[in-house]
Amino acid sequence: MSKRALEVLATGALALVEDLGRPGLAASGVGRSGAADRFALRLANRLVANSEDAAGIEVVFGGLTVRAAEQNPVPLTVALTGAPAPADIDGCPAGHHALLTLRPGQVLRLGTPATGLRTYLAVRGGIAVDPVLGSRSTDVLAGLGPPKLEPGVVLPLGPEPSELPLVDVAPVAVPTGGPVTLRAVPGPRADRLADPDALARTIWTASSRSDRVGMRLEGGRIERAGSGELPTEGMVRGAVQVPPGGEPVLFLADHPVTGGYPVAAVVLDADVDRAAQVRPGQCVRFVLVAPPWKDEP
């Protein structure tokens, strides 16, 4: 059994163990969950030559401090992706989107990112906490998976994969601090809204009430057409639901599996990861596009 481990010294606002979630269980009332920014977690895992669905640490707004356990027989290979939080190892600056080495006893610290919201830490071998329903992800809405990380937690690590890292640095763009434009297709219940085009006309602001369940948007209201209620139906990541107050909610990783409010639009899956990096106070715009499955005239 591997004796490798990572000790948590500080967590900042929130730090969670996340992989790519629990697919295929929505019919049983269990959402997929998983990393809010799946691209960032996949990239971190690729850098350290893990399977792309290996569990890593999702850090909200920086502040994570971890130490390579003294009993580790060899140094740990790690990578940081997502929001570019200033990082150092025992006081020496460390970069993002690159391979880093943590020798036994060395400490990695993250500061506050200048842009973006969520930073990902992958360790070669993956975080090996016990899986729940086939996943090591923490679902904050359902209360499934490992508890949120706290100082003093020791995270076991899996054995190193046989594959070796192929690149030292991945030159990728970091999340923007300016307005974010999200592409979306019209929702299946847009006809239940008095003016469905208001979603795309309005410049929205991400609310401080946003979390992994959904990004709450402020700056306008979308009125309902009529007073009739919808039957409860399935929801997906990226759905933009309009509750009675008229302020939309963009569902993220830990969204409920069902809902009864009109869905004004559904953000393209390619853009949902970017939405997970939007921080409170940042502006968001929606651009409605033709569904990719729609035949050309």
Measured distance CA(30)–CA(35) in Å, rounded: 16
Contact between 87 and 110 (Cβ < 8 Å): yes
Q: Give the tokens for residue 38.
A: 């799946």
The rounded mean pLDDT for the chain is 94
The contacts of residue 177 (CB under 8 Å, 6+ apart) are 114, 115, 116, 282
Report pLDDT for 295.
55
Q: Is 15 exposed, middle or buried (0-12, 13-18, 19+ CB in 10 A)?
A: buried
Give the pLDDT confidence of 119-145 residue by residue, as tens digits. Answer: 999 999 999 999 999 999 999 999 999
Report pLDDT for 87.
98
Measured distance CA(272)–CA(238) in Å, rounded: 6
Give the pLDDT confidence of 18-27 residue by residue, as tens digits. Answer: 999 999 999 8
Report pLDDT for 293.
62
Instruction: Say yes or no to pLDDT of 284 above 70.
Output: yes
> pLDDT band for position 226 (50/70/90)?
confident
Q: Which of 44-53, 188-197, 280-289 has the lowest mean pLDDT?
A: 188-197
Measured distance CA(140)–CA(155) in Å, rounded: 19
Taking residue 226's Cβ as centre, other Cβ atoms within 10 Å add up to 8
Residue among 123, 9, 10 nearest 75 (CA): 123
**What percent of the chain has pLDDT above 70?**
97
The contacts of residue 261 (CB under 8 Å, 6+ apart) are 230, 241, 242, 243, 244
Instruction: Say yes or no to pLDDT of 51 above 80.
Output: yes
Contact between 7 and 44 (Cβ < 8 Å): no
Degrees (nearest 5) of the Cα angle 121, 37, 198?
Answer: 155
